[in-house]
Structure 1
């Protein structure tokens, strides 16, 4: 489904935060990427979400090579991926109501007729009342806003969902609720999941497999077995 091959990426070509990393997410598979803050895993997630062009390496979705990022990517590739970030207030337009926020991808892809039904369906799924849908981000809690951001990520029915520290700022009950929403969606659609985070217990319970990411002296690279081609495998169990 998703194949990242020998990806090098960052914000300064002289000092990339991701070096020669490969990662595979199979169709319908849930993969956890575990690592401490600042290690580069979120940069890799942005590459996978078509939001950050890598300096080197290749990426494919459903076997098709990605040649453009952001709005330069074909619509069918952009809409195949949904993403939820850690801080909802940085990824939500403060001028929009939650209803408008959820509907944003539908409107931008010319699917305005689907807005009423799809927004109502997703609001029920993530636990947002009609009254909350009319509020703007400043008038709701972080948990309520993150529910809206998850609904927005699901509104185009993506085949791959990327959750980058989605629950890091949430309490236990909201975390459980949002993970349940993701799993119901995956069960119904067969979508794959890349869950990025630093909570080992959560990722190991949530995902089919979890890959650890550790900093090394030679650069910031995923731990475990790294093949000659940069392939990433789960670390071996301790003896």
Structure 2
């Protein structure tokens, strides 16, 4: 279970973005978090992905309470969560070729020997050809780069996947393709998915249940 309990988080002392938010995602479940831009959804997603320490509250992964964040979190917990951000150009190193973008987590965790086979497997799954893998981010479209970022999020076979506005900048066909990849991975692995967005139609079609941000924060 991924459990966020009474979480308060922000970026300035005593000025939280939100207070006392609780949310759970079960293994194998896809939960949509629906709300307008700027309400705090992405901050909650970063807490769930172990990328932002909350001011208060707890995050529990598979029965283990998280006590360290970012590089201070134990590797077992860090690698249990994959994350895909809204803007791929801000989350991919512009110096790397796409094959190295995908392989980056394997190399960071000392698993270089798995890189070639795993990158080839995921490239086929997300729709990246060999010529695209040889290009750098500025040489591909947003959709092609987001395909690489999704592959990177899946490369360590995470038990949890956080998709923070993953398709917000993409056309309908690319959106459908990437959601299909996530759903295939969920069916195969039993991973839980937290999908953050503001597109009600997409989230309600994609997810097992959709939660309104206002319901979490006591809004109308």
TM-score (norm 2): 0.98
Partner of 1:153: 153
Corresponding residue SS for 2:213: strand
Partner of 1:2: 2
In structure 2, the CA distance between the partners of 1:23 and 1:222, relative to structure 1 (3 Å rule), is farther
Corresponding residue SS for 2:20: strand
Partners in 2 of 1:223 and 1:86 — Cα distance?
A: 25
Structure richer in helix, relative to its length: 2
State how 1:186-225 maps to structure 2 within 5 Å.
186-214=186-214, 221=217, 223=219
Partner of 1:231: none
Corresponding residue SS for 1:194: strand
State how 1:52-201 maps to structure 2 within 5 Å.
52-201=52-201
C-alpha deviations, 1:196-239, integer Å up to 9, x for none? 00000000010010001139xxxx92658xxxxxxxxxxxxxxx
Partners in 2 of 1:222 and 1:128 — Cα distance?
A: 43
Partners in 2 of 1:192 and 1:155 — Cα distance?
A: 16
- The structure whose Rg is larger is 1
Partners in 2 of 1:52 and 1:148 — Cα distance?
A: 23
Equivalences, count: 220
Corresponding residue SS for 1:195: strand
In structure 2, the CA distance between the partners of 1:158 and 1:20, relative to structure 1 (3 Å rule), is same
Partners in 2 of 1:28 and 1:125 — Cα distance?
A: 19
The gaps in structure 2 that reach 5 residues or longer are none
How far is the alpha carbon of 1:13 from its aligned partner?
Answer: 2.4
C-alpha deviations, 1:81-139, integer Å up to 9, x for none? 00000000000000000000000000000001100000000000000000000100000
Corresponding residue SS for 1:11: strand
The gaps in structure 1 that reach 5 residues or longer are 225-239
- For the 8 Å contact 1:20–1:57, the answer to whether it is kept is yes
In structure 2, the CA distance between the partners of 1:221 and 1:108, relative to structure 1 (3 Å rule), is same
Partners in 1 of 2:97 and 2:18 — Cα distance?
A: 36
TM-score (norm 1): 0.90
Partner of 2:38: 38
C-alpha deviations, 1:13-49, integer Å up to 9, x for none? 2220120111011111110000000000100000000
